[in-house]
Amino acid sequence: MYEDKELQEYRDLLETPTEFEEGFDWKTVVGAIFIGFLMMPGSMYLQLVIGTGIGPAARWVTIILFAELAKRSYSELKQQEIFLLYYMAGAALSTPFQGLLWNQYLVQSDAARMLGVTEFIPSWVAPAPESASLVERTFFHRDWLIPILLLVGTQIIQRIDQFGLGYALFRITSDVEKLPFPMAPVAALGTMALAESTEDKKKSWKWRVFSIGGVMGLAFGAIYVLLPTVSGLILMEPIRLIPIPWVELTGHTEGVLPAVATGIQLDLGLVFIGMVLPFWAVIGGLVGIIITIVANPILYKNGILTRWHPGMETVDTMFANNFDFYMSFSIGLGLAIAFVGIWHVLRSFGKQEGARGSLRDLFRPPPGRGDFNFWISIGIYVFSTISYVLLCLWLVPNFPWPFFIAYGFIYTPIVSYITARMEGIAGQFVSLPLVREISFIAGAKYFGYQGIEIWYAPIPIHNYGEATVNFRQIELTGTSIRGIIKSEIVVFPIVMTASLLFSQFIWRLAPIPSSAYPFAQEIWHLQALNTLLMQSSTLEGNAAFYQALNFVYVIAGLGLGVVTYAVLTLFGLPIMLVYGMVRGLGQTLPHAMFLEVAGALLGRFFFLKRYGAMWRQYAPVLLAGFSCGMGLTGMFAMGVTLILKSLGRLAY
């Protein structure tokens, strides 16, 4: 990984600044309110309709709006103010109460009834199916009091927790070990690019590229989102010129490709995503899916994929294949990636690049960066972990408590440090698959636990390694950590209030999922089947999970992953290829890959040749503009829906 050319392109793009500013003022407060109450509902609506939210669009719109306001008031936005707006926009778009929308579906779902787990879902997750709150589709009911209070409590702990072990690991890996963090400059440069919206637009290429993407997003969004939404309010059936979420082809190809889910997702945004993602990661995903398309008919003919039968569409096909083979096989692939990551971390100790710092740097951070005492971060980590342990003991008293201690104080710090080093060296996230799940099953098999409450408890298994990249990004933009802390204090009540109100509004408009939310209607059933299949492993009797788990397939996945990585390394092929292949081989939905690959090929062989190295900067801005246009269309569709539905209610 040290010699990987793609990673070398990202290293040392930015020098660490010597001066820092907080950037926190009234503009950031107004920005948080703007995002929470204007952008969040559109994002939530799009997630349910087409499966993608506003994402970067909300950040761009906020920056552009406030930049225009600053110009007209004869002031300007500093780089740190822009970064805080960017940071808060991301935080404000998290929608905690959307998880409760999923919970209300899960407890009423056909999947729960099919697997026989409905009665085991605890009331602190969602009210029982016969609750009046589910019939009336409202969170403002006493049956939701405990789930809401529990959600708010865990959210408060999470907000505090991010300044705990994640910050401590940042101080160790960045200040002491001086690791390069190759992907942090990419993210930092992206936020710095937003500063150009405060310049003269005639001189800013970013504004022109962003505008082109924005117009394309508005045009496509009008057909893809707005037309079905508005026509559905007026007519008996919505008009969909482009099928949502995809064109189903499985029934047409089952004779030639048995047990293969086929189709195409006609979302233009996938083309732009393919242009931005690392080229070899996209190609690796394509290779993995091609292997799957070839392998599934062979597995079917050899009696491995036994649950598939002609007539099944995408969702049923993928669940049947997952049950028969791919759940176990994916576990092996995940283990292979984890072992490769750990091997690289161990290898890295003897190949440290550049000058290392010393332990003194742990207690002498750069002046002005807004750091707080290292031991305070350790105290935050201990406090948050103990809080999670106590919550788990209260919610799941019959699960063996030593597991909770081991999760929080043994496994979490080890895997977090491994990930922090992997992020610092190669920009890759390390995850050990199924540690949580296997420990739950062990608790059921060897310690007498029976039930599924443990799957919903806030257990203290976390990987704080990724947080080190966020702190490095904050540092590279010259933003003081104190400004980040202040913004978190401001944004939290806004997020919680807006998330609750708009989750309630969207749920009252129509049942979720339903034809009004086509993506959720198509995908949530598959997600529920896969989720509850795993949860059935801790129930008494011959649970469906044990029927699906096959250790021979796990070993096969592990062996294939390790061999693939070894071959790629031997021939000097890009590291990103193996991560893409694992994604493709892991039975991910193949329908989006066609347009994603088209975007990658267009970017690599047309736009890169035409615009040269600048294309790498154009592509993310073009994607942000397209997302902005789609997001604005979604917000408009959401507004029209709310107004017309409200008028309908008032009329009667």
Q: What is the pLDDT of residues 477-521, one digit of tens each?
A: 888 999 899 888 888 898 889 889 989 988 988 888 888 888 888
Residue pointed to by tokens 């893409």: 580
Give 93 or 348, the one with higher predicted confidence: 93
The answer to whether 53 touches 44, Cβ cutoff 8 Å, is: yes
The mean-pLDDT minimum among 47-56, 132-141, 174-183, 391-400 falls in: 47-56
pLDDT score, position 404: 92
- pLDDT greater at residue 293 or residue 446: 293
Which range has the top average pLDDT, 342-356, 425-439, 452-466?
A: 452-466
Place of tokens 């991301």: 90
The mean pLDDT of 128-151, rounded to a whole number, is 91
Cβ pair 480, 22 in contact under 8 A = yes
Q: 3-class DSSP state for residue 53?
A: coil
Residue 10's pLDDT band, with cuts at 50, 70 and 90, is low
CA distances (Å), origin 543, targets 93, 367, 446, 539, 549? 38, 57, 16, 6, 11
Tell me the pLDDT of the chain averaged across its residues.
Answer: 81
- Give residue for tokens 């059921």: 444
pLDDT of residue 597: 92
Q: Is the pLDDT of residue 2 over 50?
A: no
Q: Give the integer Cα–Cα distance in Å for 83 and 91.
A: 12
- Tokens representing 281 are 């990661």
pLDDT for position 349: 57
**Cβ-Cβ contacts under 8 Å for 93 (sequence gap 6 or more):** 35, 39, 40, 43, 53, 54, 55, 58
Question: Is it the case that residue 182 has pLDDT exceeding 80?
Answer: no
pLDDT in the model for residue 33: 82
Is residue 197's pLDDT more than 60? Answer: no
At residue 104, the pLDDT reads 92
Q: Which of 279-288, 348-357, 374-383 has the lowest average pLDDT?
A: 348-357
Question: Of 589, 610, 581, 58, which is closest to residue 278 (Cα–Cα)?
Answer: 581
The reported pLDDT for the residue numbered 298 is: 93
Sequence spans of domains, the chain = 5-353+372-651
Minimum mean pLDDT range among 448-457, 470-479, 587-596? 587-596
* 98-132 pLDDT, tens digit each: 889 999 999 999 888 888 888 888 999 999 888 89
- Determine the pLDDT at residue 546: 66
Tell me which residue has tokens 């539905």: 645
Encode pLDDT of 544-555 as tens digits: 666 667 888 889
Secondary structure (DSSP) of 359-422 = THHHHSPPTTS----HHHHHHHHHHHHHHHHHHHHHH-TTS-THHHHHIIIIIHHHHHHHHHHH
Residue 199: pLDDT over 80: no
- Residue 375's pLDDT band (boundaries 50, 70, 90)? very high
The answer to whether the CB of 278 falls within 8 A of the CB of 581 is no
What is d(CA 539, CA 470) in angstroms, rounded to the nearest whole number? Answer: 39
Residue 379: is its pLDDT beyond 90? yes
Q: Give CA–CA dist 433/138, Å, rounded.
A: 36
Task: Say yes or no to pLDDT of 270 above 80.
Answer: yes
The set of residues, in sequence order, having a beta carbon less than 8 Å from that of 125 and lying 6+ positions away, is 103, 106, 107, 147, 456
Name the phi and psi angles at 487, rounded to 5.
-65, -35
- Per the document, the length of the chain is 652
Own/partner pairs, 388-392, CB within 8 angstroms, 24+ separation: 388/157, 388/458, 388/459, 388/460, 389/460, 391/150, 391/153, 391/154, 391/457, 391/458, 392/457, 392/458, 392/459, 392/460
Q: If pLDDT is split at 50, 70 and 90, which confidence band does 651 have?
A: very low
What is the reported pTM? 0.74
User: Cβ(449)–Cβ(399) under 8 Å?
Assistant: yes
How does pLDDT run across 215-265, given as a tens digit for each residue? Answer: 998 999 899 888 888 888 788 788 888 887 788 899 899 889 999 989 998
* Confidence check: pLDDT of 371 > 50: yes
Burial call 264-290: b when 16+ CB within 10 Å, e when fewer:
bbbbbbbbbbbbbbbbbbbbbbbbbbe
Distance CA 576, CA 285 (A): 10
Res. 168 pLDDT band, cuts 50 70 90: very high
User: Of 411, 413, 466, which is closest to residue 434 (Cα–Cα)?
Assistant: 411
User: What pLDDT, in 10s, does the model give residues 349-370?
Assistant: 555 444 455 667 778 888 888 8
Residue 279 has pLDDT above 80, yes or no: yes
Q: Which of 300-304, 474-478, 512-516, 621-625 is least confident?
A: 621-625
pLDDT at position 1: 40
**Alpha carbons 135 and 132: distance in angstroms, whole number:** 5
